Structure 1
Amino acid sequence: MDYIISVLSTYFDNADLTKWIVLGFAFLSAVAFTASIGILIYNLSNPLKQRLHTISGPDHAHRQSSGHKKIDKTLESIEKYVTPKSKTEQINTKQLLMHAGFEKTSALTSYYAIKIILTLIALICAVIATNFFPELTSQKVVVYTLLAVGTASFIPNIVLSKLAERRTKALRNAFPDALDLLVVASEAGLGFQAALNRVAKEIDSISPELSQELQLVCQKARIGISIPVGLNQFIERTGLSELQGLVSIITQSVKLGSSMGDTLREYAVEFRDRRMQKAEEEAAKIGTKMIFPLVTCIWPGFFAVAVGPAIVKVLDMFAGR
């Protein structure tokens, strides 16, 4: 804090004015951070709850839609200032946000706004923390501040990657069960679209995320989008690239008029085998992964118990001489 005040004092003659400027900047950063957290929680709201609020009454729905519009306008106004200029980075970030379940158009702006606010908060906290260590030199203060800022700007990337990975894994684990239900519904006489709609409703108790994605495919099919196109968009949103074979099989079955039930049954067996092979691969890695906790946690304690008494006796023997 004193270092920043000393730097700003070169531009302002009044020391009290400099302190008030720094405190004002810290206050504005805290307010912006709180607003960003509120926007994030708002974007994370459950779509089912939004639907229930809409059904509850026209007045409430009107107020909710007006609130949505105000927030969207605010995010649109700051979009050009917070989002990066690189189109490649924007596309990659949007893809990760979709895989994590954030499909709103304002999700990208909210994500980068949170990154900027966290960076500012980390900068202020680092400066305040270094104030309690007056023995630190100016170079160390700058280095620690840059480390704090870099860490704060990198944390959202890690969190987003973990969220996307966890959601994709949950969808991948639940999809074989959905395929089995789809086979049963197709063999019961339902068409593919009707069977998919029924599966989307039944799978909700097991995987709400997969249920929402399949319902979205059915909704797009109702407005005229073909099933293969809707499934390709489903793969793009979820990151389940291994389902590309399913789209090809369904397209081929529609063109040739072959049995959809037999085709889906064969693919369900193949997809389940892939999941089993993935589980076996992860199980084979356990032995290697256990080396690190064994070496760092268990072996030191074992040597302390097994070799410790002998070392104590040797030391006592030499001390006695």
Structure 2
Amino acid sequence: MDYLITLIMGLVDNEKEAEWIFLGLFFISAVAFTICIGILISNAYSPLKRKLNTISHLNVVANNNVQGKGQFDKTLESIDKYITPTSAKERDSIRALLMHAGYEDKKAITNFYAIKIILVVFAFFSVLVGTRFMPELTTQKILIYTLFAMAIATFLPNMILRKIAKKRIRRLANAFPDALDLLVVTSEAGLGFNAALNRVANEIDAISPELGQELQIVGRKVRVGVPMPTALGQFVERTGLFELQGLVSIISQSVKLGASMGDTLREYAVEFRDRRMQRAEEEAAKIGTKMIFPLVSCIWPGFFAIAIGPAIVAVLEVFGK
């Protein structure tokens, strides 16, 4: 407590005001903690919710497991409006990134922002505890380090999520030409488009389980009555493969008109294979540029030390005499 009051005094230069500020912060923290505990208890021990959870499950063991998960979900629902941003644009952007990364649960966005808040709080207390062992630091430096750590904890989950989404989109894009080849073969073998899509989803699962799962979702939606164009559009939105919009349009037109899709799918398969090869060649062309940094930082210093070091030592000895 004295340490926190000392930190506050570095900002206000008045011991009495620092004590009042500390008491105010302590009161706000106590109120927030009490509200959180109240929300957790009300969600966990509400008689109505317990009754509904009991009715909705058949056996006691499964009821206990699912009830714990349901209570956790209800807790997230209760704090959803407090931790998610009010901007619809930001929510849609994060939700799209979560879908592209493979997190399609409706509570994924709430979990994401809950993780961000936990990281910010952890960073705040970690810096305070860490600076406790460095008394030479001034209050201004401690404040700067705290804000810097909280900023990193705020933006780090977004960077990690974008990286995960980008890697998943790349994996799907690399596996899609093979799926398209299988779709051409099955369509020309006489299967209808829905049956061919289901067969491709099962076969491609050995190469790319993620793409197989996405294609299976498309097939299930079509079987329950979702129109094929809508299911394929949702597939593009989930996976982030927006380069498939033209293919989806052509498939939709072929399904509506009953035309053969073999030639069209074959042309698109060749095009997507060419794109995959171009991406591989582009990555290979970048290797020379990427190797500059390890060469400069790791290999060249040792090479110059071995090649020029003895000559420099000899010159220094001559001048020293």
Deviation per CA, 1:122-145, whole angstroms, max 9, x where unpaired?
100100000101011111111111
The secondary structure found in structure 1 opposite 2:106 is coil
The sequence identity of aligned pairs, in percent, is 62
- For residues 91 and 203 of structure 2, the distance between their equivalents in structure 1, rounded to whole angstroms, comes to 36
* Deviation string, structure 1 residues 239-295 (Cα, Å, up to 9, x no partner): 001111210221232244332222211111111111111111222222222222221
> In 2, distance between residues paired with 1:221 and 1:241?
20
Question: Using CA pairs below 8 Å that are at least 6 residues apart, which structure has the higher relative contact order?
Answer: 1
Residue pair 1:2, 1:131 contacting (<8 A) in 2 also: no
Q: Are the equivalent residues in 2 in contact too, given 1:97–1:164 (CA < 8 A)?
A: yes
Cα displacement string for residues 74-132 of structure 1 (whole angstroms, at most 9, x for unaligned residues): 11100011011111111100000000111111100110011001100110010000010
For residue 135 of structure 1, what is the amino acid of its counterpart?
E
User: Equivalents in 2 of 1:278, 1:58: separation in Å?
Assistant: 53
1:240-259 to 2 correspondences below 5 Å: 240-259=241-260
Provide the residue aligned with 2:132 in structure 1: 131
Aligned amino acid, residue 217 of structure 1: V
Cα gap change, 1:13 to 1:95, in 2 (>3 Å): closer
The aligned residue for residue 311 of structure 2 is: 310
Q: Look up the SS of the partner of 2:136 in the other structure.
A: coil
Query: What is the CA–CA distance in structure 1 between the aligned matches of 2:65 and 2:234, rounded to whole Å?
Result: 28
Alignment of 1:1-321 (within 5 A): 3-6=3-6, 7=8, 62-319=63-320, 321=321
What's the CA shift for 1:11?
A: 7.4
Q: Distance in 2 between matches of 1:100 and 1:3?
A: 43
SS in 2 for 1:258: coil
How far residue 64 of structure 1 moved from its aligned partner, in angstroms, is 4.7
**How far 1:68 moved relative to its partner?**
3.8
- 2:281 and 2:154 mapped to 1: Cα distance? 36
CA shift, 1:148, in A, is 1.0
Aligned-partner Cα distance in 2 for 1:154–1:262 = 47
Hey, what's the Cα distance between the residues in 2 that align with 1:176 and 1:243?
11
One-letter identity of the residue aligned with 1:312: V
* Structure 1 gap segments, 5+ residues each: 33-56
Report the alpha carbon displacement of residue 69 of structure 1 after superposing the two structures with TM. 2.7
Cα distance in 2 between the residues matched to 1:202 and 1:60: 37
Q: Which moved more, 1:233-242 or 1:255-264?
A: 255-264
Number of aligned positions between the proteins: 288
Q: Give the TM-score of the pair, scaled to structure 2.
A: 0.82
Is the contact between residue 253 and residue 260 of structure 1 (CA under 8 Å) also seen in structure 2?
yes
Question: Normalization by structure 1: what TM-score?
Answer: 0.82
Aligned partner letter, 2:281: E
Displacement after TM superposition at 1:60 (Å): 5.7
Amino acid at match of 2:80: E
**Structure 2 counterpart of 1:190, one-letter code:** L
Distance 1:58 1:268, change over 3 A: farther
Provide the rounded CA distance (Å) in 2 between the counterparts of 1:266 and 1:112. Answer: 43
Which segment is superposed worse, 282-291 or 75-84?
A: 282-291
Distance in 2 of aligned mates of 1:174 and 1:110: 30
Q: Quick one: which amino acid aligns to residue 289 of structure 1?
A: K
CA distance in 1, matches of 2:170, 2:65: 33
Shift in Å, 1:147: 1.0
Residue 4 of structure 1 aligns to which amino acid in structure 2? L
When the two chains are superposed, the root-mean-square deviation of aligned CA atoms in Å is 2.7
2: distance between equivalents of 1:266 and 1:13?
75
